[in-house]
A and B are shown apart, each in its own frame.
Chain A
């Protein structure tokens, strides 16, 4: 009976582990790149309503919480914008430095007068 109980326990554990792997496969988490991106998009869409449902279930005042923003973020676009901003700032930096130097010198001269 101990051996039978041990086998039964192993079968239960194997079933749970197999179910977890199957659910992950079925949701497209272990597939190609497009499937993974699609799964992330579905999760992002499902997150705000789920948070709202949980807060209303727990009983928190939803009015005090800010509206949950829609997560629509493109890392490549953000990176490109960041690079463009930095490079344009660097390109105008010498001109701006000259302007500020002239203004600063004029201010000091006016102070000294």
Chain B
């Protein structure tokens, strides 16, 4: 990949990750709303917000500290 395409690739990855996290947060919010909170709306909103927040944090990490491994466990032989 050309160097000027790297930022575009990172942005695409951020958008994809945001979509996934929003969907996962929304879905888990629905699950928790149905199971525990008598089908109220706030767990769905909370889950979606949490998903967006996680996506924002990932994007921020990817752009600012790209070479720092995030949450990876490396087994030492």
User: Interface residues, chain A, CB within 8 Å of chain B?
Assistant: 13, 16-17, 20-21, 24, 29-34, 36-37, 39-41, 74-77, 80
Min CB gap B73→A, angstroms: 12
A33-B58, A36-B20, A75-B12 given; name 8 further pairs at CB < 8 Å. Answer: A17-B31, A32-B58, A33-B14, A33-B61, A36-B17, A76-B7, A76-B8, A76-B12
Known: A32-B71, A40-B19. Contact between A74 and B27, CB under 8 A? no
User: Interface residues, chain B, CB within 8 Å of chain A?
Assistant: 7-9, 11-17, 19-21, 23-24, 27-28, 31-32, 35-36, 54-55, 58-59, 61-62, 70-71
Chain B interface, DSSP helix/strand/loop, else mixed: helix
How long is the Cα–Cα vector from A13 to B33 in the complex, in angstroms?
11
Which of B15, B21, B31, B70 is the one whose CB lies under 8 Å from A29? B21
For B11, give the chain A residue with the smallest CB separation.
Answer: A76
How long is the Cα–Cα vector from A13 to B59 in the complex, in angstroms?
34
